[in-house]
Amino acid sequence: MNLAEMQNHLDIVKWHESENNGMDMCRHMPYCDWCKGEEEYPCALAYERMEKAKAEEAAAEKKAKAPAKKAAAKKAPAKKTVVKEEAKEVKAGEAAEAKKTPAKKAPAKKATAKSSAK
């Protein structure tokens, strides 16, 4: 819908509201706070400014909620680090234990008479 059509639609709605309320509803509609009055299509432009302000407000609210989710996500990798450190400690403990106990040597194979004859 272009500005002229929107202005016409808003004028009709405003006219019906004026009839129902028994007074001129100019400056009493929800979008009138954004009206500059001196424009070619004052109601249409005010309505567009109102919609833009609502969209920016909704985006700001959404952005304000986003950091709380990011903070929770940062805590999860810390748990992985703790698990890795515990795994390193276990491996270090196993290595220290292995150094304490000497490894059993496999018995040496004895040379047989057949193998020495060749």
Q: Could you write out the DSSP letters of every residue in 20-61?
A: HHTS--TTTSGGGGG--SSSSSHHHHHHHHHHHHHHHHHHHH
Looking at every residue in the chain, the average pLDDT score rounds to 79
pLDDT band for position 82 (cuts 50, 70, 90): low
Contact 62, 50 (CB under 8 A): no
Confidence of residue 41 (pLDDT cuts 50, 70, 90): very high
Most confident of 73-77, 80-84, 90-94: 90-94
The reply to whether 35 falls in a domain is yes
- Overall average pLDDT of the 45-67 stretch: 91
Decide if pLDDT at 60 tops 60: yes
Specify if 96 maps to a domain: no
Cβ–Cβ under 8 Å, residues 18 and 24: yes
CB 47 within 8 A of CB 2: no
The answer to whether 30 and 14 are in contact (CB under 8 A) is no
pLDDT on residue 37: 83
| Structural domains in the chain (count) | 1
Domain span at residue 37?
A: 3-84
91 assigned to some structural domain: no
Confirm whether 112 is domain-assigned.
no
